[in-house]
Structure formats: C-alpha cells, structure tokens
Chains A and B, each alone.
Chain A
Amino acid sequence: MSIYEQLKQTADKFPDKTAFSDGTDSLSFAELLAASQNVAAAVAVRAKQEPVVVCMDKHPNAVAAYIGVLAAGAIYVPLDRELGQARVAAILGKLAPRLVVADETSAAFIAEMELENPPETLLYSEIPASSYFAPPPELPDNQPAYIMYTSGSTGTPKGVAVSHRALIDYIYSLSEVLGVTEETVFGNQTPLYMDASLKDIYPTIFFGATTYLIPHGLFTTPLRVVEYLNRYSINTIFWVVSALTLVSGFGTLKKLIPESLTTIAFGGEVFPVAQFHLWREALPNARFLNLYGPTEITGVCAWYEVEGEITDGIPIGKPFANTEILLHNGEILVRGPRVALGYWGEPDKTAEVFVQNPNHNLYRDIVYRTGDLARYNENGDLVFVSRADHQIKHLGYRVELGEIEATAGKIEGLASVCCVFDKETGRITMFYAGDIETKELSAALRKLLPRYLQPDRVKKIDEMPKTGIGKIDRVSLLALAKGN
C-alpha cells in the first residue's frame, strides 16, 4: 500500500485526531489528507516522476507538502532556510529541479539566489483547494520516494535517493521496535530535511499517532523543552544525543521530570555514559533504545534496548528485521531492501560505497559500505569502534571534515587549510595559513556553510605542520587544538 493510501486509511479511521502540530498550528488527519491532495493536484500538472523540492520551515504544512508530492508520483527533496543560502543554492544548482514548493519566507529566500535555471516556485499558501484528486496509476515500489542531502567530502552535498519500498519497510520494522500505536505521541527534535525525521512523520501516518514538531529555538532552553514535553504529554522521542545531553547536562532533570516519556530512543552519536545515567535515574521505568544507521540505508538498521548496567558504552546491538549486517575487515556493511538506490545523478560516487557483497559473486547482491568500524561484544551485540575516514558527528549531524576544508578552499587568501575534530569536547578546529584575517574567514564560512558544518574555532598558523611524507600532520594539529 502506498504512503498516500496509508494516510487515506488513517484519515478514515481518525479524521479529527491531531496528526501534526507545532504547538501553535495543527493538522488533523482529515486536514492533512485534504492538504496533501491539494498539493498533489497542483504538483501533478507541473511535474512527473521527478524531484520536487519542498523548501519550508518546520511546520505541519511541510508534512502535507511531502505527502502531496509523493501522491503525485514525484520525489520530494526536503530543504530548509536553516541550511543557509549557499548550501540550498548549491543543491538547487546541482539537482536543477523544475518545481519548488515553498512557504512565503522560503520563496523569498530562493528568489534572492542567482540560479542558472531558476525553478518554478509554487507558493504553498496559493495552492487552490481541489475538490477532486485522482492519484496517478501506482508506480513500482522501487520508485524513489525522496532525496535527502548529506555532507560530501569533496565539498558538495550528496543526494541520497531512497525508494518507497525501503521507506515503507523501514517504518514497519522501526514501529514494531518502538511499539508505535495510536496512543503514541512523538516529540520531533530533528530537522525535517534529515532522515531522522522519517521516524516521527511516517509512523504517525501509518498508525494514527500524533507528532509535535518541537520548535527548534526551544533547544537553547532545556527547562522549556521539558515543559513542552509535559504540556503535550509526549511519550516517545527519538533525538540526537546532543539534544538529550543538553537537557541532562544542566541538572534540568533534577528540577523537572518529563514524566510522560515512556520510550526514549537516541542515535547519531555515542551517548556519554554519565549523561545517560542521569536520564535513566530520572525515568527508571522508561525504555531506552540506541538506534544506529546512516542515511544510505533509510534511517536506522540496528538497535539495542538498554537493560541492566551500562559501564563502558552502549552497544548498537542487532539488525532490524529484513536487514543483515556484515562485518568485513571490521567495517559495517548493510544488506537488505532498505539499502538506498544510490546518490542522485552520481554513478561513480554510488559505485564506491554501494558494492557487491564481498562474500560472493553468484548474483547481484548490493551492500552499503558504511565506513563505520565495529566489533561484536561477548553477548553478540555490535559495538561501534570508530570511523574509517574523516567523517565525524558534530551537534548530531554527519559532517565530512573534507567538505569544510573544500569549501574553505574556495575563499580567497587561503593558502592551506585543515580541520581537526576533538572527540572529547565535540569541537571542530580549523587551522589555516594564508593572507586573510581570522574574523574575515569566519564571516565568509558562515555565509557558505550551515551552522553544523561551521568550525567552532578558527586558528591562523604560519605554516602547516607536515608528516615525513609531506601530508598535513593532523595529529600535531589535534594536539595544538587541545592545547588551546
């Protein structure tokens, strides 16, 4: 059953129930269905089986736009002003979509860009109510559903294309693990342009649950986050670890307990054990789940439910149903129907990491190479060890240090540049040599990169330290960063 059909079924069952809300504006399932149909009717006459960008702020209407694009048989590409003009322009330039669905502020934001082939912008507020929408003939389920952009080491973001089959399979197995029912109330933390938001949006539609889209700005004030959770009786969250530690890190849980929470899932980063214990002490009866997986396998592929004492790190556990994890020379390879279709328009990059199963060559059996190194512990659970390359997690987002370096390399006056990441503090330090002041360089970087890709510190040095074979000496740079 298609995602649109799922929504129709849920809207039949729970027409007046709140589907999505940000605390101010809400859409019931019947309203969400009607809004999606309006979008679908408007999109269907302008686009076929092609990418349609949805550039909207985090709001229930954005979800209606995604479903509308899907119902029209097209592929949605979620973007947000939060990513900054340079990045959104880079994606629009590379993807060259014919159509963008936008709210008013985002439409103005796109209009300011100098794009070679500006797309048609369809204003969400001007989409007419359609009295009738007949979905196009259903496409095979390996048709792409969405493209999500992620950091690319060469300086341009990569678009991960994921099929309807993968998305639906993911939502069913994830919902089973989380125990999603119509009683579930999600508190969404992650931005909608990241795959992490799938696990709030789609289980809500499939099971008639409710999702509160927590305003991004609340995450500077941890007590208000907890008040928000309590006000809306939110019982299920799946947040990046940084958001959870923001709350636990200031003693918030000693002042106010998010007492409605029963399921706390987390991922994106390693959870510091001391912070994890603060959460567990505050909510001893809640379920705690570590979820692991990259965008390229549709969200997450392994899970671990914390039971008993945790002393040295929380395992990433075991694969979801219908997924196999292979450890090949210590690297996690993922196999199964949720492996993405590849990087949109980039067959070479796709071929580098979506590869034939190294264990045989009897038939086509594509696995995704995560670049994550892991091992099994004595209980047979997978434990994350490290990355095989320079990819890091910054503020819970996936970051290629190479992308920051390549972007900085475009700035005039820079002779050489290298970024190092201090795991203990979670900070990126950029070292550079060249004829530009630190302040100017930081200002230029802020224009080019979204916040999560910006270095936390920028330091000028006279000369890059080199190793014996002439490569930049990252080890001494890291020591220098730690010394500061």
Chain B
Amino acid sequence: MEKLIEILNNVRDDVDYETCDTLIDDGIYVSFDIISLVAALCEEYDVEIGAEELIPENFNSAKALYEMVQRLIEEQN
C-alpha cells in the first residue's frame, strides 16, 4: 500500500489518499492522470490493466486501486 501511495503521489501530490474515495467521481483525476497512473502501475506490479478495469469503482480510492492490483497479480501469475 505504501508503494501505491507513492505512485499516486507522483501523479498528484495534493490528495489525501487515505480518505479520498472520489478520485474519479469528483473529477480529481482526469483522463491524462489515469493514463500516467495505469502506466506506472503496470510497470511497478508487472500486470496488464485492460479497458474493462478502467471503471470508477476500481479507481475512486487508493484502497480500491490496491484491491484491483492485488486481484490482477493473482489472476495473471
């Protein structure tokens, strides 16, 4: 989780990732941020993130992102 927060801070460092659960719903992350984030996640965790994963439920909070990444690691290895 710490690593993930670091990645998120690299995308935008003005968000409290411990509490925020509306990264997409409130438009905090725009499409460009998503592209940067997905690229960083794929590189760090060696997973593929397909279009079907790019839904608000997976990207609204650090917790949801963490769960998605964990799931993808299990599925893909």
Contact = CB atoms under 8 A, between A and B. Distances in A.
Contacts of A395: 30-32
Contacts of A223: 51-52, 54-55
Main secondary structure of the interface of A (DSSP, over half): helix
A478 interface: no
Contacts of A152: none
Contacts of A243: 31
Interface in B1-46: 10, 13-14, 24, 27, 29-32, 34-36, 38
Interface string A52-96: 000000000000000000000000000000000000000000000
B51 A220 contact: no
A220 B52 contact: no
Question: What is the interface residue range for chain B against chain A?
Answer: 20 to 34
A250 B14 contact: no
B13 A439 contact: yes
Contacts of B50: 250-251, 255
Given A242-B31, A242-B32, A249-B35, A220 B14 contact: no
B17 to A, nearest CB: 14
B73 interface: no
A246 B52 contact: no
A243 to B, nearest CB: 7
Contact of B30 (A224, A256, A443, A451): A451
B49 interface: yes
Q: Please tell me the size bucket of the interface on A.
A: 20 to 34
A130 interface: no
A109 interface: no
B54 A220 contact: yes
A219 B55 CA distance: 11
A468 interface: no
B54 A217 contact: no
A220 B34 contact: yes
Contacts of A246: 31, 34-35
A252 interface: yes
B35 to A, nearest CB: 6
A76 B34 CA distance: 34
A456 B10 CA distance: 9
Contacts of B27: 216-217
Contacts of B32: 242, 395, 426, 456
A25 B56 CA distance: 23
A221 B54 contact: yes
12 contacts: A216-B27, A219-B30, A220-B56, A221-B24, A222-B54, A242-B31, A250-B49, A250-B51, A251-B51, A255-B52, A256-B51, A442-B14
Interface of A: 216-217, 219-224, 242-243, 246, 249-252, 255-256, 395, 426-427, 438-439, 442-443, 446, 451, 456-457
